[in-house]
Chains A and B, each alone.
Chain A
Amino acid sequence: MVTSTINVPPRKREIIEKAVIRFCGDSGDGMQVTGSQFSNTVALYGNDLATFPDFPAEIRAPAGTLPGVSGFQVHFSSSDVYTPGDSVDVLVTMNPAALKMNLPDLKTNGILIVNLDNFEETDLRKAQMSSNPLEDHSLDAYRLFSVPLAKLTRAALKDLGLDAKSMDRCKNFFALGMCYWLYNRSMDSTLLWIDEKFQKIPQLVQANRLAMQAGYSYCEATEAFQISYEIPPAKLVPGVYRNISGNAALALGFVAASRQAGLPLFLGSYPITPASDILHELSAYKDFGVITFQAEDEIAAITSAIGAAYAGAIGITTTSGPGMSLKTEALGLAVAVELPLVVCDIQRGGPSTGLPTKTEQADLLQALFARNSEAPVPVLAPATPGDCFWIALEAVRIAIKHMVPVIVLSDGYLANGAEPWRIPSVSDLPAIPVHFETNPVNFQPYRRDPETLARPWAIPGTPGLEHRIGGIEKQDVTGNVNYEPLNHEHMVRLRAEKVERVARDIPDVVPAGDPSGDLLIVAWGSTHGPITAALKSQRAKGRRIGHVHLRHLNPFPRNLGEVIGRYDRVLVPEMNMGQLVMLLRAKYLVDARPYNKIQGKPFKTSEIESKIEEMFD
Chain B
Amino acid sequence: MTTATLPVHTKKDFQTDQEIRWCPGCGDYAILSAVQSVFADLGIPREKFVIVSGIGCSSRFPYYMNTFGFHTIHGRAPAIATGLKLARPDLEVWVATGDGDSLSIGGNHTIHMLRRNVGLKVLLFNNRIYGLTKGQYSPTSEIGKRTKSTPYGTADRPFNPISLAIGAEATFVARSVDVFQQHLKDTLKKAAAHKGSAYVEILQNCNIFNDGAWDTVTERDARSEHVVQLEHGKPLIFGKNRDKGIRANGLELEIVPLGNGVTEKDLLVHDEHHPRPSYAFMLAHMEHRPGFPTPIGVLRSWGEIPRYEDLITAQIEEVQAKRGKGDLEKLLRAGDTWEVRP
On whether the beta carbons of B70 and A236 are closer than 8 Å, the reply is no
Bound-complex Cα distance A182 to B150 (A): 75
Is A241's CB under 8 angstroms from B339's CB? yes
Is B80 in contact with A252, judged by CB distance below 8 angstroms?
no
What residues on B are CB-neighbors of A291 within 8 Å? 86-87, 312, 316
Contact digits for B309-342, partner A, Cβ 8 Å, 1 yes 0 no: 0001001100110011110110111111111111
The residues of B that contact A241 with a CB separation of less than 8 Å are 337-340
Which of A268, A285, A286, A300 contacts B331 (CB under 8 A)?
A285
Residue A160 lies at the interface, judged by CB distance under 8 Å to chain B: no
* Contact of A240 (CB < 8 Å), options: B76, B79, B108, B339: B339
Given A423-B333, A468-B63, also A44-B73 (CB < 8 A): no
B109 neighbours in A (Cβ, 8 Å): 296, 299-300
Within B39-83, the residues touching A (CB, 8 Å) are 45-48, 50, 52, 62-63, 66-73, 76, 79-83
Contact of A471 among B71, B79, B319 (CB under 8 A): B71
A416 to B320, CA, bound (A): 29
- Contact across chains for B76 and A312 when beta carbons are under 8 A apart: no
B5 interface residue per 8 A CB criterion: no
CB distance A308 to B90 under 8 Å? no
| A311 / chain B contacts, CB cutoff of 8 Å | 83-84, 87-88, 91
Contact of A304 among B80, B334, B337 (CB under 8 A): B80
A189 pairs with B336, CB closer than 8 A: yes
**A to B CB contacts below 8 Å, 28 in the list:** A46-B340, A189-B336, A238-B340, A238-B341, A240-B337, A241-B340, A242-B336, A242-B338, A252-B332, A266-B83, A285-B331, A286-B315, A287-B320, A288-B328, A290-B316, A300-B76, A307-B81, A307-B84, A307-B85, A310-B84, A330-B73, A459-B88, A461-B48, A465-B68, A466-B66, A467-B69, A468-B69, A469-B71
Contact A300:B82 (CB < 8 A) given known A310-B70, A463-B45: yes
CA A268 to CA B319, docked complex, whole Å: 20
Q: Which of A238, A243, A329 sits near B342, CB closer than 8 Å? A: A238
A295 in the interface (beta carbon within 8 A): yes
Contacts of B274 in A (CB 8 A): none
B82/A307 in contact, CB under 8 A: yes
The answer for the CA separation of A306 and B86 in the assembled complex, in Å, is 12
**Known contacts A333-B72, A471-B72; A304 and B83 CB within 8 A of each other:** yes
Taking CB atoms, residues of chain B closer than 8 Å to A290 are: 316
Looking at chain B, what size class is its interface with the partner chain?
35 or more
Cβ-based interface call for B134 (8 A): no
Interface residue? A155 (CB, 8 A): no
Tell me if B18 is interfacial: C-beta within 8 Å of chain A: yes
B157 CB within 8 Å of chain A: no
Closest to A440 in B: B47
Q: Are A312 and B87 in contact (CB under 8 A)?
A: yes
Closest to A264 in B: B87
Query: Considering only CB atoms, which chain A residue lies closest to B323 in the complex?
Result: A287
**B12 part of interface (Cβ distance < 8 Å):** no
Query: Given A300-B109, A423-B333, are A307 and B79 also a contact pair (CB < 8 Å)?
Result: yes
Q: Which of B198-248 contact A (CB under 8 A)?
A: none
Q: Which residues on the B side are within 8 Å of A293 (C-beta)?
A: 82-83, 86, 312
A307 → chain B closest CB, angstroms? 3
Decide yes or no: A289 and B340 within 8 Å by CB, A296-B108, A307-B52, A461-B88 being known contacts: no
CB proximity of A28 to chain B, nearest CB, Å = 26
Note all chain A residues with C-beta closer than 8 A to B312.
291, 293
Q: How large is the interface on A (under 10, 10 to 19, 20 to 34, 35 or more residues)?
A: 35 or more
Residues of chain B having any CB pair with chain A under 8 Å: 16, 18, 45-48, 50, 52, 62-63, 66-73, 76, 79-88, 90-91, 108-109, 112, 312, 315-316, 319-320, 323-326, 328-329, 331-342
The interface bits of chain A over 252-265 (1 if a CB of B lies within 8 angstroms of the residue's CB, else 0) are 10011001000010
Q: 1/0 per residue A413-440: CB within 8 Å of B? A: 0000000000111100000000000000
Which residue on chain B has the smallest CB distance to residue A44?
A: B338
**B72, B84, B320: which contacts A308 (Cβ < 8 A)?**
B84
User: Is B87 a contact of A266 with CB atoms below 8 Å?
Assistant: yes
Complex interface: chain A residues within 8 A of B70 (CB): 307, 310, 337, 468-470
**A307 contacts B320, CB within 8 Å?**
no
Min CB distance B13 to A, Å, is 10
- Closest residue to B46 on the A side, CB-wise? A466
Q: Chain B residues with Cβ under 8 A from A332's Cβ?
A: 73
Residues of chain A contacted by B108 (CB below 8 angstroms): 296-297, 300
Which residues of chain A are within 8 angstroms of B86 by Cβ–Cβ distance?
266, 291, 293, 304, 307-308
In the bound complex, CA of A289 to CA of B319 (Å): 9
Q: How far is the CA of A460 from the CA of B87 in the complex (A)?
A: 11
Contact status A286-B80, CB under 8 Å: no
Closest Cβ of chain B: how far from A365's Cβ, in Å? 23
> Does A239 lie at the interface of the complex (its beta carbon under 8 Å from any beta carbon of B)?
yes
Q: For the complex, what is the distance from the CA of A304 to the CA of B342, rounded to whole Å?
A: 47
Whether A460 contacts B336 by the Cβ 8 Å rule is no
Find the residue from A268, A291, A307 having the highest chain B CB count within 10 A: A307
What CA separation (Å) do A464 and B312 show in the bound complex? Answer: 29
Are B50 and A255 within 8 A (Cβ)? no
A288-B331, A463-B45, A467-B68 in contact; A303/B337 too (CB < 8 A)?
no
The 0/1 profile, CB within 8 Å of B marked 1, for residues 464-502 of chain A is: 111111111000000011000000000000000000000
Q: Is A313 an interface residue (CB 8 A)?
A: yes
Known: A299-B79, A470-B70. A460 touches B46 (CB 8 A): no
Residues of B within 8 A of A333 (CB): 72-73
Which chain B residue lies CB-closest to A458? B68
Given A266-B83, A461-B47, verify A285-B326 contact (CB < 8 Å). yes
Instruction: Chain B residues near A300: list those with CB within 8 A.
Output: 76, 79, 82, 108-109, 112
Counting CB contacts under 8 A, is A35 at the interface? no
A289 x B316 contact (CB < 8 A): yes
Within the complex, what minimum Cβ distance (angstroms) separates B278 from chain A?
Answer: 25
A315 CB within 8 Å of chain B: yes
Complex contact B69–A469 (CB within 8 A): yes
